[in-house]
């Protein structure tokens, strides 16, 4: 029976990961520690909340006493650190909390894991591992060709990606200095159920359904490499199980698409399946994001070669599954939209100008 200490499990990827793991492995326990910021939503975990293998604790990953208590009261085998402030636009307007959670929180998690697991100088309880869920954004921006490999120099541009890169450096330092068994995964853009509507796909879906403007930053030709969230969860499971300690693994599925293609695909799906009145007239090109990275593209060869990982869901299938999920779960979205989210959205977009 292995015990996983999952942080940020009430967010988008963390909740998908918990559900994926409890469905896949009979003999595991998961402790989900989440601060429940605006992005944390326990509704995401309804289907597992009564599972005896699952426990929820509300706490901040930067809170030393709270995190030490979880280690001391549970025989933790693995840490999977998802908890983060994750939205680039928010990091541009409010960078400090990104340092607090993404950098200081990660260092606190590392320090508590080291102290709990250390059995002697450079010796640790057998089989333990700390996995840091990082992002392709730490590598910066690509030109029209080429891909990020694990040896691409880090060149973050936004306060968000800089905080994730700083956290990665601390994870590396704990591996190099204290020999803590660590892995880092750097994944491309995820999409799927339970993604907070500040992010491109659910935002465009939501606005299209209510005939609102669809804000496309700049020319909309920025490229992201989209991966269905379950394929990311599978990669993390494999890296925990058999990733070589100290190694970084890039995760991505060569599904590179310009933003405008994503926006038009969503409009077409809704026009064909829900509402014949929506169309491209809703698109509004608006002020670009400051420091906007032009293109991300992951080379996933290492995780494929070493661990046998491959993405199972192609974009065409994944986007249909995702949009269908949002349409079949309107209450999930309505609960968020009827809360503080709209205030954030209105403030954010009133500051943008049509171009």
* Interacting residues with ligand DAU (CB under 6 A): 86-88, 135-137, 188-189, 199-200, 203, 215-217, 222, 224, 259, 289, 296
For residue 354, give the DSSP letter.
B
Alpha-carbon distance of 166 to 151, in angstroms, equals 16
**196 is a site residue for ligand NAD (CB under 6 A):** yes
Alpha-carbon distance of 142 to 187, in angstroms, equals 15
Contacts (CB under 6 A) with ligand NAD, residues 208-247 = none
Torsion over CA: 29, 123, 241, 316 (sign): positive
Contact 36, 108 (CB under 8 A): no
Q: Which of 91, 106, 108, 189 is the binder for ligand NAD (CB under 6 A)?
A: 189
Question: Could you tell me the CA-to-CA distances from 142 to 137, 184, 188, 299 in Å, in that order?
Answer: 10, 21, 13, 12
182 binds, among ligand DAU, ligand NAD, none (CB under 5 to 8 A by kind): none
Contact 192, 318 (CB under 8 A): yes
13 binds, among ligand NAD, ligand DAU, none (CB under 5 to 8 A by kind): ligand NAD
Contacts (CB under 6 A) with ligand NAD, residues 139-178 = 164
Q: Which of 91, 106, 135, 265 is the binder for ligand NAD (CB under 6 A)?
A: 135
Contact 171, 110 (CB under 8 A): yes
Listed ranges 150-158, 189-197, 212-220, 341-349: which one lies at the site for ligand NAD (CB under 6 A): 189-197
The contact pattern for ligand NAD, residues 78-97, with x = CB under 6 A and - = no contact, is ----xxxxx-----------
Contact 159, 126 (CB under 8 A): no
Q: Is 127 left (phi over 0), alpha (psi -120 to 50) or beta?
A: left
Q: Which of 85, 136, 198, 256 is catalytic?
A: 136
Q: What's the min distance (Å) between Cβ of 198 and ligand NAD?
A: 9
Q: Which of 137, 225, 231, 293 is catalytic?
A: 137
Question: Could you tell me the CA-to-CA distances from 123 to 55, 120, 241, 248 in Å, in that order?
Answer: 29, 5, 19, 21
**61 is a site residue for ligand NAD (CB under 6 A):** yes
Cβ proximity to ligand NAD: between 17 and 124 the closer is 17
Q: Which of 160, 228, 269, 345 is catalytic?
A: 160
Question: Could you tell me the CA-to-CA distances from 86 to 199, 218, 275 in Å, in that order?
Answer: 10, 21, 32
Terminal Cα-to-Cα distance of the chain (whole angstroms): 56
Q: What's the min distance (Å) between Cβ of 35 and ligand NAD?
A: 4
Q: Is residue 137 among the annotated active site residues?
A: yes
Question: Could you tell me the CA-to-CA distances from 149 to 15, 174, 225 in Å, in that order?
Answer: 27, 22, 14
Listed ranges 18-26, 88-96, 182-190, 277-285: which one lies at the site for ligand NAD (CB under 6 A): 182-190
**14 is a site residue for ligand NAD (CB under 6 A):** yes
Which residues, in sequence order, are bridge partners of residue 229?
none
62 binds, among ligand DAU, ligand NAD, none (CB under 5 to 8 A by kind): ligand NAD
Closest among 263, 284, 266, 283 to 275, alpha carbons compared: 266
Listed ranges 66-74, 77-85, 213-221, 252-260: which one lies at the site for ligand NAD (CB under 6 A): 77-85
Place of tokens 């925990």: 240
Q: Is residue 136 among the annotated active site residues?
A: yes
Alpha-carbon distance of 240 to 331, in angstroms, equals 34
Q: Is residue 346 among the annotated active site residues?
A: no
208 binds, among ligand DAU, ligand NAD, none (CB under 5 to 8 A by kind): none
Catalytically active residues, by annotation? 136-137, 160
Q: Which residues bind ligand NAD (CB under 6 A)?
A: 7-8, 10-14, 34-37, 39-40, 60-62, 82-86, 101, 105, 133, 135, 164, 187, 189-190, 196
């Amino acid at each position: 029976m292995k015990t996983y200490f999952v942080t940020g499990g009430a967010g988008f990827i963390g909740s998908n990961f918990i559900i994926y793991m409890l469905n896949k492995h009979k003999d595991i326990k998961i402790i989900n520690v989440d601060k429940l910021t605006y992005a944390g939503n326990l509704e995401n975990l309804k289907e597992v909340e009564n599972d005896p293998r699952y426990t929820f604790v509300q706490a901040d990953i930067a809170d030393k006493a709270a995190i030490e208590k979880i280690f001391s009261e549970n025989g933790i085998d693995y840490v999977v650190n998802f908890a983060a402030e994750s939205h680039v636009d928010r990091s541009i307007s409010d960078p400090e909390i990104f340092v607090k959670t993404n950098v200081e929180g990660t260092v606190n998690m590392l320090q508590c894991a080291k102290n709990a697991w250390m059995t002697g100088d450079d010796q640790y309880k057998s089989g333990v591992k700390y996995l840091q869920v990082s992002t392709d954004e730490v590598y910066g921006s690509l030109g029209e060709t080429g891909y990020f490999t694990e040896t691409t120099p880090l060149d973050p541009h936004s306060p968000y990606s800089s905080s994730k890169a700083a956290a990665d450096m601390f994870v590396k330092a704990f591996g190099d200095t204290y020999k803590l068994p660590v892995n880092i995964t750097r994944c491309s853009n995820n999409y799927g159920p339970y993604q907070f509507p500040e992010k491109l796909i659910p935002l465009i879906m939501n606005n299209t359904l209510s005939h609102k403007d669809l804000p496309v930053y700049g020319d909309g030709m920025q490229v992201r490499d989209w991966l269905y969230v379950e394929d990311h969860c599978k990669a993390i499971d494999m890296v925990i199980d058999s990733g070589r300690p100290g190694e970084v693994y890039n995760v991505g599925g060569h599904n590179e698409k310009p933003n405008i293609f994503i926006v038009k695909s969503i409009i077409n799906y809704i026009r064909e399946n829900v509402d014949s009145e929506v169309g491209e007239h809703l698109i509004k090109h608006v002020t670009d994001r400051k420091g906007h990275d032009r293109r991300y593209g992951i080379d996933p060869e290492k995780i494929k070669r070493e661990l046998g990982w491959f993405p199972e869901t192609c974009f065409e299938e994944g986007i249909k599954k995702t949009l269908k999920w949002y349409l079949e779960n309107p209450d999930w979205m309505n609960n968020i939209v009827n809360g503080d989210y709209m205030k954030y959205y209105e403030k954010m977009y009133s500051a943008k100008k049509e171009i």
